[in-house]
Amino acid sequence: MDPKTVRIIGVPLDYGADRRGVDMGPSAIRYAGLHERLRQIGHRVEDVGNVTVPVPESRHPRHERMKYIDEIVKVNRVLARTVERALGDGTFPLVLGGDHSIAMGTVAGLLRRLPRLGILWFDAHGDFNTEETTPSGNVHGMPVAAMVGLGHPKLRQNFSGRTVDPRKIVYIGVRALDPAEAVQLKKSGATIFSMHEVDRYGMRDVMARALEIVSQGTDGVHLSFDIDAVDPLYAPGSGTPWGGGLTEREAHLALELVAEADILTSLEMVEVNPILDEHNRTGRLAAELIASALGSRIV
């Protein structure tokens, strides 16, 4: 991978989740030595700090089917501008969450510069709920639906009519879908490599197909990695743990293969929750996975 100027953007947002803690995710990943890891690979690092997010204690969820929707939309509006500016400046946006609702801001900003975007979505969950299908009202379960043009107009307003073609979205590591969400996702045209496919075909073959799908006919490829894609045995610091996930080595192999393909134009790492972690073990893993996606190798 050629050296890049990596612009780090922190988004300490936890309005989209059901429990506190992921607002500290950006700090945990930085503390794990992210900057030095990226410099060792040969990249230049610019850290622009964090997008300002009011603490949840100062707000109240007014909409039970989409909790804190107004606050989430406002933060994502700022994030979209920040990501768009990073691309315009010729840098590589690296977004640190925060919960996965920040993907709406990241992708909205990317679409302004890369209208035909491919997305690799590593996650235990589908994040394809809408106001009608959500069992929890948590907006971190809705970003993919919003970016393909579904869901409440407020969640779609930062996209300004731009959408991602669901046929250019590839899920990896899925193992927990809500019933109505599963029906909606299956109809969407997105490719889903659940843990069944990972087990059956192996990560090498899964990634070969995934990289082919997201890179053909696209202007760029975004990697969105929810740390709960990794089994909680290796990543205990997640607010939505679900057993049977990727091993640490499977996750590293997947991102090493992404780096070999050299097609990434942006990356985000989300849902690291230091409150639930063990001595920042998950924060360190997140930093290491980012480094793997950007070219780090054992030898």
Tell me, yes or no, if 196 is annotated catalytic.
Answer: no
Tell me, yes or no, if 100 is annotated catalytic.
Answer: yes
Tell me, yes or no, if 226 is annotated catalytic.
Answer: yes
Which one is catalytic: 43, 140, 152, 252? 140
CA-to-CA distance for 71 and 143, rounded, in angstroms?
A: 15
What is the chain's alpha carbon radius of gyration, rounded to the nearest angstrom?
17
Which one is catalytic: 43, 125, 152, 222? 125
Tell me, yes or no, if 123 is annotated catalytic.
Answer: yes
Distances (CA, A) of 149 to 86, 117, 197: 24, 14, 27
CA-to-CA distance for 254 and 229, rounded, in angstroms?
A: 12
Q: Which residues contact 197 (CB under 8 A, 6 or more apart)?
A: 206
69-88 helix and 103-111 helix, angle to the nearest 10 degrees: 40
Tell me, yes or no, if 70 is annotated catalytic.
Answer: no
Q: Counting beta carbons within 10 angstroms of the beta carbon of residue 160, is it exposed (0 to 12), middle (13 to 18) or buried (19 or more)?
A: exposed
DSSP one-letter code for 118: E
Other C-beta atoms within 10 Å of 212: how many? 11
Residue with tokens 């690291």: 272
In this structure, the dihedral spanned by the alpha carbons of residues 243, 247, 252 and 254, taken in order and rounded to 10 degrees, is -70
Tell me, yes or no, if 271 is annotated catalytic.
Answer: yes
Which one is catalytic: 226, 231, 277, 288? 226
Which one is catalytic: 23, 71, 99, 127? 127
Which one is catalytic: 43, 100, 152, 252? 100
Other C-beta atoms within 10 Å of 167: how many? 15
Which one is catalytic: 23, 123, 277, 288? 123
Which one is catalytic: 131, 250, 271, 277? 271
Give me the sign of the Cα torsion angle 110, 112, 118, 119: positive
Which one is catalytic: 14, 71, 131, 228? 228
Residues in the chain: 299
Tell me, yes or no, if 228 is annotated catalytic.
Answer: yes
Active site residues: 100, 123, 125, 127, 140, 226, 228, 271
